[in-house]
Structure 1
């Protein structure tokens, strides 16, 4: 596996929440528009909220998935945030698979 993007928050960076949401949306749209895409995007902690009902980036994540980007969401995190019935894109994973994917990737980009 070449590149994996890890998203551990539902906003991009720390500070103003509205700005962070806007930046996350812009980042994901730019990744979607690139010819070169990551093999996978891993969502954990509050990052799993991005793949759930009510997320402002569902269309972008769906587009990335349709382009062949594997979307994995931490099952423990989904349970913690009570999102199991609200997940709209990607698949539920576990820390064993997530840690293996991160260790085997040539490049891991953490957001």
Structure 2
């Protein structure tokens, strides 16, 4: 049985895919909502570059991310990225972390999924 038990999910964009931003937002929201329904969840989801926008005010993906956090998934966003986009005070879910934190989660994960 395949699970997300020791998987790190990394989100580096403000959506999924490439060309259509609105579609990308819908896709990432749907992905995260479906992830909420999994029996075993990933222990951590990291966010960097434009991915940090997903955990901030106004994000279409906030609802499933809040649910994932309530279910025990640690959401860690790159503080440098949050500062770059002037979003540090707009974080709605998760915690700011450092690149050292993100590297640690990469080292201990048995699988890394990049979105």
TM-score where L is the length of structure 2: 0.93
**Deviation of residue 97 (structure 1)?**
0.9
**Equivalence for 2:34:** 30
2:17 corresponds to which of 10, 13, 36: 13
Deviation at 1:75, TM superposition (A): 0.3
Which of 24, 40, 46 is equivalent to 2:44? 40
How many positions carry a matched residue from both structures? Answer: 111
Structure 1 consecutive aligned stretches of length 4 or more whose deviation exceeds 3 Å = none
Query: RMSD over aligned Cα, in angstroms?
Result: 1.0
Q: SS at 1:65's partner residue?
A: helix
Q: Deviations over 1:50-99 (max 9, x none)?
A: 00001111111010000000000000000000001100100000001101
TM-score, L = length of structure 1: 0.97
TM-superposed CA distance for 1:49, in Å, is 0.4
Q: Answer whether contact 2:25 2:61 (CA < 8 A) is retained.
A: no
How far apart in 2 are the matches of 1:53 and 1:107? 30
Give unmatched runs, 5+ long, in structure 1.
none
